[in-house]
Amino acid sequence: MGAEGAGRRKDDHVRLAAAQQVEPAVRNGFDDIAFVHHALAGTDADRVDLGVEVAGGRWRVPFHINAMTGGSAATGRINRDLAIAARETGVAVASGSLSAALDDPSLLPTFRVLRDENPTGVVWANVGVERSADDARRAVDALGADALQVHLNSVQETVMPEGSRRFSSWPASLEAIRSAVEVPVVVKEVGFGLSARTLTRLHDLGIAYADVSGRGGTDFVRIENARRPGGDFGYLAGWGQSAVECLLDAPDPAPVLLASGGVRTPLDVVRALSLGARAVGVSGTFLAAVLEGGVDALVVRLREWTTHTRALLAVLGAESPAALVSTDLVIDGRTARFCATRDIDITAWARRSDAAPTPERSRHDR
């Protein structure tokens, strides 16, 4: 496809993704996760440090603006707004796939703006797994990127009118990219989830970070199907695992996990962190904010999410995101059924805060 076609595709993606955001709220996997409330377990919000180490960098907050745009004039303007909001708030930001600019360097400024407007912030580049090792290096260099996201999107490619149907070379291509680039590689899905088997495979391929990016938020089956003249792939909507299911099913060892896909609120961020994500990516929800109110609206939103995330950690008695792993989680609904079929013990997740009981203490508790 020519660069003009790639640019039009990006504009379509933004328009169709934004349309999904204004639909009435739908339940997703995050709604299946509730915290057991312990009324005396809280801490002080000003004792909470939200900082996390991700891919060799120290982030101020455990959420980030995930991969979306670039490649057309309109999406270049969105990238500019994302970059300014990221700079003003210290939030990390990932670029949309640089494929269009790798094929047509005249489009590079629509991506490069992410770094130009945010020279000292955390900026990640993004390419599809089918790109060459040399392309991957060029993408990192173009943004002075701190890490490289490599996306796996076989379902999207299948429904995309101009998409690929050739996936067998992906593991070898991923390995070539990983050994060629000098920054950390973060492998991500685009909204269909990374299974336990995939995470094990990634670990075996030497991938240190993976964003499970699951079902329940932006749905690229519906986006690409709307771009097909016949709309004949609609029946695939809902394919894949939610981020929550992926986190619950994650193997050990596995890459360090990031989560995204359907994150709507700071509560969803805290749920994902409690399920073991190091950090949480947000695309559709932040896209809607920037399209509606520009850079100012996104800055307000990012500050609000920072304050709220800290407040929720205080209620849960967690002075850091890592401390959330001893919160007690009640798992319900479709996610509980997923756990039953995958032989995941949900009762253990509901009792994580129990201190190892001594015989006296458990007798007393009874």
CB 282, min distance to ligand FMN, A: 5
Which residue has 């986190």 as its token pair?
Answer: 247
Q: How far is the CB of 128 from ligand FMN (least distance, A)?
A: 8
CB of 326 to ligand FMN, least distance (A): 27
Q: For the CB of residue 287, give the shortest distance to ligand FMN in the complex, in Å.
A: 5
Rounded least distance, CB 36 to ligand FMN, Å: 27
Number of residues that bind ligand FMN (CB under 6 A): 27
Binders of ligand FMN among residues 41 to 100 (CB under 6 A) are 66-69, 96-97
- Residue number of the CB closest to ligand FMN reads 217
Q: How far is the CB of 65 from ligand FMN (least distance, A)?
A: 9
User: Which stretch, 40-48, 112-120, 169-177, 284-292, contacts ligand FMN (CB under 6 A)?
Assistant: 284-292
For residue 331, the surrounding DSSP H or E stretch is strand 329-331
Closest approach, Cβ 293 to ligand FMN, in A, equals 17
Question: Could you tell me the smallest distance in angstroms from the CB atom of residue 150 to ligand FMN?
Answer: 8
Give least dist CB 6 to ligand FMN, A. Answer: 11
Shorter beta-carbon distance to ligand FMN: residue 117 or 268: 268
- Is residue 240 close enough to count as binding ligand FMN by CB under 6 A? no
* Options 274, 283, 309, 327; binder of ligand FMN; rule CB under 6 A: 283
H helix or E strand, kind and range, residue 260? strand 256-260
Decide: is 302 part of the binding site for ligand FMN (CB under 6 A).
no
CB closer to ligand FMN, 126 vs 274: 126
List the beta bridge partners of residue 242. 215
Answer for which of 61, 82, 174, 190 binds ligand FMN (CB under 6 A) is: 190
End-to-end CA distance of the chain: 68
Q: Which residue, 247, 197, 193, 250, is CA-closest to 220?
A: 193
CB 75 within 8 Å of CB 321: no
> What is the C-alpha to C-alpha distance for residues 47 and 69, in angstroms, rounded to an integer?
36
What DSSP element (H or E) covers 53? strand 52-54
User: What would the DSSP string read from start to end of 106-165?
Assistant: GGTHHHHHHHHT-TTS-EEEEEETTS-HHHHHHHHHHHT-SEEEEE--HHHHHHSTT---
Applying CB under 6 A, among 6, 7, 9, 17 the residue interacting with ligand FMN is 17
CB nearer to ligand FMN: pick between 82 and 313: 82
Nearest residue (CB) to ligand FMN, 17 versus 48: 17
Question: Residues 290, 82: contact at Cβ < 8 Å?
Answer: yes
Closest CB to ligand FMN among residues 173, 285: 285
Listed in sequence order, the DSSP H helices in the chain are 3-21, 73-89, 99-103, 109-116, 133-143, 154-159, 170-180, 196-204, 220-226, 243-248, 266-274, 284-315, 333-341, 346-349, 359-365
Nearest to 340 by CA among 328, 332, 352: 332
Backbone angles phi, psi at 188, to 5 degrees: -135, 155
Among 145, 282, 289, 291, binds ligand FMN (CB under 6 A): 282
| Mask for 193-232, x = binds ligand FMN (CB under 6 A) | --------------------x---xx--------------
- Among residues 112, 160, 124, which one has the least CA distance to residue 13? 160
Identify whether the C-beta of residue 95 lies closer than 8 Å to the C-beta of residue 125: yes
Q: DSSP per residue over 34-46, as a string?
A: EEPP-TT----GG
Give the footprint of ligand FMN on residues 116-175 (CB under 6 A). Answer: 126, 149, 151
- Residues of this chain that interact with ligand FMN (CB under 6 A) are 13-14, 17, 66-69, 96-97, 126, 149, 151, 188, 190-191, 213, 217-218, 260-263, 282-285, 287
